[in-house]
Amino acid sequence: MTSTHSSPTSIPSVDYFGLDIPFLAHLGVVPEYAKEGKALISLDLKPEHLNSFQVAQGGVIMAILDFAMSAAARSTFNHPLGATTVDMTTSFLRPSRGKLMVEGKVLKSGKSIQYCEAVVINAAGEITAKSSGSFMLRAK
Q: In this structure, is residue 105 part of a structural domain? A: yes
- State the total domains in the chain: 1
User: Which structural domain range is residue 26 located in?
Assistant: 15-137
56-91: pLDDT as tens digits? 999 999 999 999 999 999 999 888 888 999 999 999
Q: In this structure, is residue 88 part of a structural domain? A: yes
Q: What is the DSSP string of 60-80?
A: HHHHHHHHHHHHHHHHHTT-S
CATH of the domain at 121: 3.10.129.10
Q: In this structure, is residue 7 part of a structural domain? A: no
Q: Which pTM was predicted?
A: 0.91
Confidence at residue 1, expressed as pLDDT on a 0 to 100 scale: 45
Q: In this structure, is residue 3 part of a structural domain? A: no
Whole-number percent of the chain with pLDDT over 90 = 81
Q: In this structure, is residue 117 part of a structural domain? A: yes
Q: In this structure, is residue 8 part of a structural domain? A: no
Task: Work out the end-to-end distance of the chain between its first and last CA atoms, rounded to an integer number of angstroms.
Answer: 43
Confidence at residue 79, expressed as pLDDT on a 0 to 100 scale: 81
Do the beta carbons of residue 45 and residue 61 sit within 8 Å?
Answer: no
Q: In this structure, is residue 2 part of a structural domain? A: no
